[in-house]
Structure 1
């Protein structure tokens, strides 16, 4: 059979995904709180907001619009219909514009601007509401006087269990705070308390329990998702008029989200040992968050920046003063640079800030502890759905979750080839990269860095863009070079990037691939002088056929210069038609077939003093003889210091015979062989066989 089938069926074979919903909380209420109410609420149902948290969803709330996801029960379908009014956790009421069933879940879209998932997402509430002509009841005996002045504040304890939600009593209006002297003196029976959502209530009872104290209020139960930790509680007093401001509010120059690092050094993007935080190293942030600028934190305090330090695609910003509280100012909250006229509210610096060890520069692209990574995997997902481009993330394609990076790092294979599509990262030639897709790509790199995984970025396009050949009038080679320059500019400082895979399996290129590869490689070198550039071969990158189809790749001396850090990438499958489809389930394989099929490529590398890499190889779980052949292949590659990445791993493979990750979770016989060679010591100091 023609090897033009090399990857079509194999890579299009993606099992449909069942979107299992993790449940958060949504409630459809029957009546407002107040006992004195005369209003009658319409009949209602109770449900939960799904707990989806990914690039599209934040706690079950759609990030880019006014919508949320709930289980598609019959009751929910009947209640959450177009035209119904929905009351969100922060009290606002909106009308439903449409609903959409997605498997066992339903997406509900509302009128108006996008929602804040930190307020209305899981496990918080959303309610359908409807009333008679009577005036609606108030939600609690609250004060709304604008003249409220906070005189004392404290953090609420972070108890979360069956009795407490974020330090707020679930069954009655009460909360728990530290029982320090200041709190005992301030939170007394009869005092007025201002909650985080602005309502004011009176204290009815105080009870000290060890190092903490429980404070009970009048009115109905309060919402722990709104007023609980890490939010603040304030003692309030009232005057006849609101006090005049003592200084004009600082104007905001720039605002950025904090990164979500949470580990021994970082808590929600805030450095634990010093007054510092981490944000994206965008050009806007680099320009705004400079030494001497004033930064306003989420809790309102203003401090000056001592220094800023770029680390990959992120930047660390260090402030004067003592360590800051990540629970208050950390992710997903924001920090802002404010005008220099803002009066700093941080305490005066009495001691120098804690010493911070500078982050290491990005490591050399080819080695870990002086040795190259020889065994890795392809993590699928972002290259799926090539017939539907750009397509919809989560429906036609996905990016691998952090768990996959952790899994293969833990298995001793911290090298990942990450396929993605040109049409998604740049939907129109000659335009800036799509920021949403770029964000997904960078998030994958962040996942990899967290688990010390190195990533080869693989443009998985078979030498085509929207079906048109590179080098055609529609897709000039200059556009191919330009998109790689843009990608490199975005990730050049990210420490997880091992290198750039110019193109997956070029084929039927009209002889133009060598020219296109040279242009793209040289464009990358104007941005990144160090990391590996992986140059695939024509004719589907077949290792066995390599010498007959790819001599023209190195006619230009630049492509043979070892200083340019080029690695030539071949693919190899052992079935009779070289395709990787393994149609014949009875086929028996010679133990050395894998070695014999890569030898033409390896000998070509040796002859020309070049470096090589096997970007794809894979065998089916139903063939013991193919797995033996893989064992011998891996030994041969190690002897020649040639890395390889197995096809395939990652999400959405269903029960695909070659995959290391299948829905059933059954034993994968390929995995022990890969682990064996990943853990076998070698004497390679760089990628070979050069």
Structure 2
């Protein structure tokens, strides 16, 4: 579609902030005491197996290996850990080899052969079991509990929404506080903090988000009503400590070479910006370099792994503490997983172990606590004036004001697709991004973050740069990949970013779009291993025409790998020429026309086990039959867990028939339908349909 301001259809996708996937599990500390031979038994925890069945699962039991899916409650995360024994409904007792949290669920993998979902699956229960063992007599020193004093305190941010209560994270133990220098210096990983109810806990992770910082603690979730704003959060120091035990000598469990690449982000395979390194994603490394394991670097340091992320054939491993020196510990040095004799140690890896059972679902960015937002809007402005580029801000184009982010958050649609133009963010190929334009983009993200909105960054260029095709001599594919890498480098740590929309409505691409999409997606993955990458389709991304124009888009296996967190983006309008211009104001629409026009795209996704998203759909205010068709469309998309962003909303639309924001402020008949579906409950745990 086209208007005098904005060429082509636009949409924007936004989702709530969720950091639970980055958080560690619950830590249980057992105090030693003097005793004779004492029976030790672990507490049993029972839970229902999740009741879903598809090509991969049978009654919540993984069909191709020994695994099952259960709710990812705090109790289950604490109990169902690697090394624990579980009892199945048929009486079998097996050990857990590993666990993986996927949204609001957790996958638990066991030793041994695959399970029978008909016997041990839903509605059956699964339980952890404690084996009674005779603990040797222990002569422990008498410990004097250290007293704590507050050495620094701060106010807690006083905001409340679905994710936060009085500045306290609802899902797991975390606080939001001002990101001033004093707080940054005081609240660091490993520090102890004292809560308003007297609890003392350790900081496990800190993340700065604009003017605020999120501080995460060990243990279970805390009560925002008790310890949240207007209470204070204090740094605690100990005035007396128990005598430190002698640390056992670590033994090597596994060793790996570091990868040998160096660029602006990496030095000899060591991440420059924080404590992390890259190694090959062999089965042995995947099994050994896990969250919670200790690693020994070439300079003798021993640190704990916070998280590991597979990116193609490589594995990025992130550690506690400050950034490490790639010159001292990087390639050609090695890194080792070590265990201490005080804890159960795995045998040293001398030969590669059996391949790890693949996870039932990819490690997806859990930006919405396992409940993806399915209804959002496109916020216009920054993509206006494509015929006048770069153009003048405020004359040829604008960015949406903060009020628009607040409006759609309050309406229950905190999901935004934000169009912007390549020629403005980078007026000359191969140069740094324009700092002024980048500042405008980041300000929009700050507005979104303030109102708990998530943003899909949409490069709204129709596969062109200053009118030249990508893949031409003037605009090589490498330049397209490079600009996306630069953009990702600038926003990778911004919590409002939901993902990266590679290109709006590619068309007439000379068959080069699949190659360009692959290059750009892989470039982003060198910077951001987690957030969604939205891959539009050729032929203006038409959902109806998708299978005929986009089979080559997934020829490369990398584009089909669910671990790469790709979402395929189609657009759909119900008018007779599919354009969204709605020239014929008398046109009447079948109630199911929207469903029928997206079905070819959805069936293609199902056939190839991929994720999808409708980046643009919109209907005019003068057509009641089109609004009925939208109602049915939204139901169908929800049934398939496919998000969508309505076209259009935001500033400068005048009296545009499709817009939710018009100068006159008159009633928008499209809005109640969108709100209805935004509020409708769903059972989706990730973007679908897969």
TM-score by length of 2: 0.50
Q: Is the contact between residue 26 and residue 125 of structure 1 (CA under 8 Å) also seen in structure 2? A: no
Q: Is the contact between residue 455 and residue 497 of structure 1 (CA under 8 Å) also seen in structure 2? A: yes
How has the CA–CA distance of structure 1 residues 47 and 449 changed in structure 2, closer, same or farther, with 3 Å as cutoff?
same
How has the CA–CA distance of structure 1 residues 580 and 80 changed in structure 2, closer, same or farther, with 3 Å as cutoff?
farther
Q: Distance in 2 between matches of 1:106 and 1:683?
A: 15
Q: Distance in 1 between matches of 2:232 and 2:305?
A: 25
Greater alpha carbon shift after TM alignment, 86-95 vs 452-461: 86-95
| Alignment of structure 1 residues 128-527 onto 2, 5 Å | 365-527=365-527
Q: Is the contact between residue 594 and residue 629 of structure 1 (CA under 8 Å) also seen in structure 2? A: yes
Per the TM alignment, residue 370 of structure 1 is displaced from its structure 2 partner at its CA by 1.8
Cα offsets for 1:86-109 (capped at 9, x unmatched) = 999999999999999999999999
How has the CA–CA distance of structure 1 residues 296 and 122 changed in structure 2, closer, same or farther, with 3 Å as cutoff?
farther
Cα offsets for 1:230-286 (capped at 9, x unmatched) = 999999999999999999999999999999999999999999999999999999999
Per the TM alignment, residue 367 of structure 1 is displaced from its structure 2 partner at its CA by 3.8
Off by >6 Å, runs of 4+ in structure 1: 1-6, 9-364
Q: Distance in 1 between matches of 2:93 and 2:243?
A: 31
Q: Is the contact between residue 13 and residue 498 of structure 2 (CA under 8 Å) also seen in structure 1? A: no
Q: Is the contact between residue 48 and residue 125 of structure 1 (CA under 8 Å) also seen in structure 2? A: yes
Q: Distance in 2 between matches of 1:193 and 1:209?
A: 20
Q: Is the contact between residue 59 and residue 121 of structure 1 (CA under 8 Å) also seen in structure 2? A: yes
Q: Distance in 2 between matches of 1:384 and 1:159?
A: 34
Cα offsets for 1:532-580 (capped at 9, x unmatched) = 0000000000000000000000000000000000000000000000000
The SS at the match of 1:4 is coil
Greater alpha carbon shift after TM alignment, 302-311 vs 494-503: 302-311
Cα offsets for 1:317-352 (capped at 9, x unmatched) = 999999999999999999999999999999999999
| Structure 1, unaligned runs of 5 or more | none
Per the TM alignment, residue 365 of structure 1 is displaced from its structure 2 partner at its CA by 3.5
The SS at the match of 1:336 is strand
Cα offsets for 1:648-683 (capped at 9, x unmatched) = 000000000000000000000000000000000000
How has the CA–CA distance of structure 1 residues 509 and 262 changed in structure 2, closer, same or farther, with 3 Å as cutoff?
closer
Cα offsets for 1:409-459 (capped at 9, x unmatched) = 110001100000000000000000000000000111111111111100000
How has the CA–CA distance of structure 1 residues 440 and 200 changed in structure 2, closer, same or farther, with 3 Å as cutoff?
same
Query: Equivalent residue for 1:85?
Result: 85
Alpha-carbon RMSD across the aligned residues, in angstroms, is 23.2
Q: Distance in 2 between matches of 1:201 and 1:78?
A: 17
Greater alpha carbon shift after TM alignment, 274-283 vs 523-532: 274-283
Per the TM alignment, residue 223 of structure 1 is displaced from its structure 2 partner at its CA by 48
How has the CA–CA distance of structure 1 residues 439 and 58 changed in structure 2, closer, same or farther, with 3 Å as cutoff?
farther
Query: Equivalent residue for 2:72?
Result: 72
Q: Distance in 2 between matches of 1:208 and 1:3?
A: 40
How has the CA–CA distance of structure 1 residues 46 and 463 changed in structure 2, closer, same or farther, with 3 Å as cutoff?
same
Cα offsets for 1:148-184 (capped at 9, x unmatched) = 9999999999999999999999999999999999999
Per the TM alignment, residue 609 of structure 1 is displaced from its structure 2 partner at its CA by 0.5
Cα offsets for 1:453-487 (capped at 9, x unmatched) = 11000000000000000000000000000000000
Per the TM alignment, residue 494 of structure 1 is displaced from its structure 2 partner at its CA by 0.6
Per the TM alignment, residue 507 of structure 1 is displaced from its structure 2 partner at its CA by 0.2
How has the CA–CA distance of structure 1 residues 529 and 357 changed in structure 2, closer, same or farther, with 3 Å as cutoff?
closer
Per the TM alignment, residue 41 of structure 1 is displaced from its structure 2 partner at its CA by 94
Q: Is the contact between residue 16 and residue 368 of structure 2 (CA under 8 Å) also seen in structure 1? A: no
Q: Distance in 2 between matches of 1:647 and 1:399?
A: 16
Cα offsets for 1:299-319 (capped at 9, x unmatched) = 999999999999999999999
Q: Distance in 2 between matches of 1:325 and 1:413?
A: 44
Per the TM alignment, residue 369 of structure 1 is displaced from its structure 2 partner at its CA by 2.7
Greater alpha carbon shift after TM alignment, 334-343 vs 388-397: 334-343
How has the CA–CA distance of structure 1 residues 110 and 168 changed in structure 2, closer, same or farther, with 3 Å as cutoff?
farther
Q: Is the contact between residue 544 and residue 598 of structure 1 (CA under 8 Å) also seen in structure 2? A: yes
Q: Is the contact between residue 59 and residue 117 of structure 1 (CA under 8 Å) also seen in structure 2? A: yes
How has the CA–CA distance of structure 1 residues 226 and 549 changed in structure 2, closer, same or farther, with 3 Å as cutoff?
closer
How has the CA–CA distance of structure 1 residues 186 and 117 changed in structure 2, closer, same or farther, with 3 Å as cutoff?
farther
| Structure 2, unaligned runs of 5 or more | none
Q: Distance in 2 between matches of 1:313 and 1:175?
A: 36
Per the TM alignment, residue 368 of structure 1 is displaced from its structure 2 partner at its CA by 1.4
Q: Is the contact between residue 301 and residue 345 of structure 1 (CA under 8 Å) also seen in structure 2? A: no
Q: Is the contact between residue 25 and residue 77 of structure 2 (CA under 8 Å) also seen in structure 1? A: no
Q: Distance in 2 between matches of 1:273 and 1:683?
A: 38
How has the CA–CA distance of structure 1 residues 603 and 393 changed in structure 2, closer, same or farther, with 3 Å as cutoff?
same
Q: Distance in 1 between matches of 2:203 and 2:523?
A: 68
Q: Is the contact between residue 531 and residue 565 of structure 1 (CA under 8 Å) also seen in structure 2? A: yes
Cα offsets for 1:372-430 (capped at 9, x unmatched) = 01000000000000000000000000000000001001100011000000000000000
Q: Distance in 1 between matches of 2:130 and 2:652?
A: 42
Cα offsets for 1:211-246 (capped at 9, x unmatched) = 999999999999999999999999999999999999
Q: Is the contact between residue 377 and residue 417 of structure 1 (CA under 8 Å) also seen in structure 2? A: yes
Per the TM alignment, residue 356 of structure 1 is displaced from its structure 2 partner at its CA by 40
The SS at the match of 1:8 is coil
Q: Distance in 2 between matches of 1:276 and 1:493?
A: 15
How has the CA–CA distance of structure 1 residues 621 and 279 changed in structure 2, closer, same or farther, with 3 Å as cutoff?
farther
Greater alpha carbon shift after TM alignment, 219-228 vs 356-365: 219-228
Query: Equivalent residue for 1:665?
Result: 665
The SS at the match of 2:322 is coil
How has the CA–CA distance of structure 1 residues 108 and 410 changed in structure 2, closer, same or farther, with 3 Å as cutoff?
same
Q: Is the contact between residue 156 and residue 233 of structure 1 (CA under 8 Å) also seen in structure 2? A: yes
Query: Equivalent residue for 2:571?
Result: 571
Greater RCO, 1 or 2 (C-alpha within 8 Å, sep 6+): 2
Q: Distance in 2 between matches of 1:204 and 1:282?
A: 28
Q: Distance in 1 between matches of 2:260 and 2:189?
A: 40
Greater alpha carbon shift after TM alignment, 283-292 vs 462-471: 283-292
Q: Distance in 2 between matches of 1:577 and 1:242?
A: 77
Cα offsets for 1:100-134 (capped at 9, x unmatched) = 99999999999999999999999999999999999
How has the CA–CA distance of structure 1 residues 270 and 387 changed in structure 2, closer, same or farther, with 3 Å as cutoff?
same
Greater alpha carbon shift after TM alignment, 117-126 vs 604-613: 117-126
How has the CA–CA distance of structure 1 residues 665 and 354 changed in structure 2, closer, same or farther, with 3 Å as cutoff?
farther
How has the CA–CA distance of structure 1 residues 505 and 124 changed in structure 2, closer, same or farther, with 3 Å as cutoff?
same
How has the CA–CA distance of structure 1 residues 158 and 32 changed in structure 2, closer, same or farther, with 3 Å as cutoff?
farther
Q: Distance in 1 between matches of 2:411 and 2:103?
A: 34
Q: Distance in 2 between matches of 1:78 and 1:341?
A: 23
Larger Rg: 1
Q: Is the contact between residue 155 and residue 232 of structure 2 (CA under 8 Å) also seen in structure 1? A: yes
The SS at the match of 1:567 is strand
